[in-house]
Structure 1
Amino acid sequence: MVPLQGIRTLSELSFGDEGDLFLLLSAKESATTRAGQPLWLLTFRDETREIEVAIWADSPWFETCQRDWKIGDFFKVRASLRDSRWGPTLDIRKIRPVRESDREAGFDPAKYLSASPVAQDQLYDELRKLASERMEPSALRNLTEHILEQERDTLLTLPGSRSYHHVYPGGWLEHTRSVAEICLFLADQYHRQYPDLQPPLDRDLVLAGGILHDIGKLRELDCSPVQTAYSADGALLGHAILGRDMVREAAQATGLSGERLLRLEHIIVSHQEAGENGASKPPMFPEALIVHYADAIDTKFAIMRRILVEDRGDGPLTSDRNLLRHALFRGSGQVAD
């Protein structure tokens, strides 16, 4: 075991290392084992990464956790990092709430409020420009701009998801800008490649769908600086249906109607994988197919990046206990000639 080295971050720990850490409790759920024993599933995070910890019924921290530990609380923790069947976790040796005196050791609560690496205002402005400068004047453009203008303040802090990808304030904007740019690239590519397509590829519909595909997350997620949870509407309906509802409401205010509105609604309800991921229909025309795959590649690329950044193993492969459920190859680190 590596000796203690003062206050460390989660990303600095390798398996077997023990360190003192300042951590934020960002999620807490009660659960039971297969044998019916209670446990708490916790998520701690610092400015570098987050990690899940199980507090079992026989843990010395179980009763204190149940009674006193609250989401949004900060702790000073002495723990070692180890790999478990569910992925990296911490074995806690000591834990207590942070004190004012901990600031002298470098504790700063502002570090734990993660956000997109790109400024939210910049992301929002770039997304607005995609709508205002890359779409032709139409009711479709009016609807897209109307929603972005109406929801600006919330979009600046909205995460991309609760726990899957872009899970930080501004994550929705970061993901959506990327999806919209991918949509434009693919729409231009296939418009050139298949000029005989009937009906012709609707480039503006692809872009509007890319911008609005996840707009229902405004109603699906309840967010605070330290926690994102599902709203009742989100849990019962999901963001695809809620997004279609928002588009229908905006259509009444902006005059979009007819088949173009129907196609935009279909893009929103079909953009995810079918089944448990939420789509009620598969993509049924080319514009919907483009948005579906633009969303999928950006989502999975963000997840893959997160795994490669956070996995602390030594070998050429990461652990397979991650959101993708398979190992990633990072190589030997040697550069070939």
Structure 2
Amino acid sequence: MKFIKDLTPGDRIADIYMCKHKQSATTKNGKEYYSVILQDKTGTVDAKIWEPNSDGIDEFDDTDYIDVFGEVTSFNGAIQVNVKRARKCHEGEYDPSLYLPVSSKDNDEMYKELLGIIGTIKNPYLKKLLEEFFIQDEAFITAFRKSSAAKTVHHGFIGGLLEHTLSVTKLCDYFCTAYPILKRDLLLTAAICHDIGKTRELSLFPTNDYTDEGQFLGHIVMGAEMVGDKAKEIPDFPVLLRQELQHCILAHHGEYEYGSPKKPSIVEAVALNLADNTDAKMETFTELLGNITTPGWQGYNKFFETNIYDSKMDM
């Protein structure tokens, strides 16, 4: 199988890919065609079916696996597939693990490490809250371990939410050793819970798209609500502690322009924002470099707002 990340203009493909999205469109001349997003575990690629009513094109829908024959071209500097034939595949013809992006890190090991950190929390109320989510709630645990941390940008793969959460938590744990002013139990609980709203904001793979609730509320508000609701179920949970924890979640994007409902008002919220931003940007750059085939200057990147340079060959 030729993976999407390895496609280059001029290639001919005859492989099975998952249809992430299919949409009917019309050319300027009024001719119908299909715009399709093909996916495998290495990424997605835009594809076009210019003759959708021809004998070689089967009916298929989103999330179907299709056997594609076509040519790889380039349009506006991006890879595109010109599909000549497309056949809907049956179960058993494909291995789903080849088509869904998955964290390169072991999910069981990551979750075990996260539970180990939860075991170090001394505050009985915060520890009880974490245990209610991450030990007692089976439905939440399943969603948390399977969820991505984003639709795109960073950690957009199965296990991405767990990987990102663990990285942010470990960064916050380091901050606590470097800056004794920080309340470790509060900061680490906030770090572990800061993105739990993403279990409801994004649907699981293969869709990995925004839910209605996610569109209306967003993961930050939902996460703060989830924590608040859970805290209220714990007898005598201190009101101020609940508010501080919710504030850290509400402020973890740091600025209003980045979708943060609040700006950090306590030092733990500042630390969480820095850790979240650090891990998101480092993972984004890591994924960016992982898709580069030619070292050197890569051109302007909108996310980083600068010209990106790949220095791997300098090492």
Shorter chain as denominator, the TM-score bin is 0.7 to 0.9
TM-score, with length taken from structure 1: 0.80
Q: Report what 1:231 is aligned to.
A: 211
C-alpha contact (below 8 Å) 1:27/1:227 kept by paired residues: no
Report the Cα offset of residue 202 of structure 1. 0.9
Separation in 1 of the partners of 2:91 and 2:133? Answer: 46
CA 1:211–1:96: 2 relative to 1, 3 Å? same
Separation in 1 of the partners of 2:206 and 2:218? Answer: 22
CA 1:320–1:248: 2 relative to 1, 3 Å? same
Aligned pairs for 1:52-201 (under 5 A) are 52-53=45-46, 55=48, 59-61=50-52, 68-81=59-72, 84-85=75-76, 88-99=78-89, 103=93, 107-133=94-120, 135-149=121-135, 150=137, 151-191=140-180, 200-201=181-182
Separation in 1 of the partners of 2:253 and 2:31? Answer: 36
Secondary structure at 1:175 match in 2 = helix
Q: Where in structure 2 are there 5+ consecutive unaligned residues? A: none
Separation in 2 of the partners of 1:141 and 1:131? Answer: 7
Query: Is 1:272 the counterpart of 2:253 in the alignment?
Result: yes
C-alpha contact (below 8 Å) 2:48/2:83 kept by paired residues: no
Structure with larger RCO (C-alpha < 8 A, sep 6+): 1
Query: Is 1:23 the counterpart of 2:7 in the alignment?
Result: no
How many residues are matched? Answer: 310
Report the Cα offset of residue 119 of structure 1. 2.5
TM-score, with length taken from structure 2: 0.85
Separation in 1 of the partners of 2:105 and 2:161? Answer: 12
Separation in 1 of the partners of 2:170 and 2:291? Answer: 27
- What CA deviation, in whole Å up to 9, does each residue of 1:80-139 have, x standing for no partner? 555544x63223142312556995xxx533322332222222222211111112x21421
CA 1:137–1:233: 2 relative to 1, 3 Å? same
Report the Cα offset of residue 276 of structure 1. 4.9
C-alpha contact (below 8 Å) 2:300/2:307 kept by paired residues: yes
Identity %: 25
Separation in 1 of the partners of 2:303 and 2:54? Answer: 30
Q: Report what 1:331 is aligned to.
A: 311
CA 1:222–1:315: 2 relative to 1, 3 Å? closer
CA 1:110–1:93: 2 relative to 1, 3 Å? same
Report the Cα offset of residue 267 of structure 1. 0.6
C-alpha contact (below 8 Å) 1:180/1:211 kept by paired residues: yes
> In the alignment, which of 164, 186, 194 is matched to residue 205 of structure 1?
186
Separation in 2 of the partners of 1:276 and 1:71? Answer: 33
Matched residue type, 1:201: L
CA 1:144–1:331: 2 relative to 1, 3 Å? same
Query: Is 1:50 the counterpart of 2:47 in the alignment?
Result: no
Matched residue type, 2:66: F
Separation in 1 of the partners of 2:273 and 2:89? Answer: 48
Separation in 2 of the partners of 1:154 and 1:101? Answer: 24
Matched residue type, 1:179: V
Q: Where in structure 1 are there 5+ consecutive unaligned residues? A: 1-6, 192-199
Q: Report what 1:196 is aligned to.
A: none
Separation in 2 of the partners of 1:147 and 1:289? Answer: 24
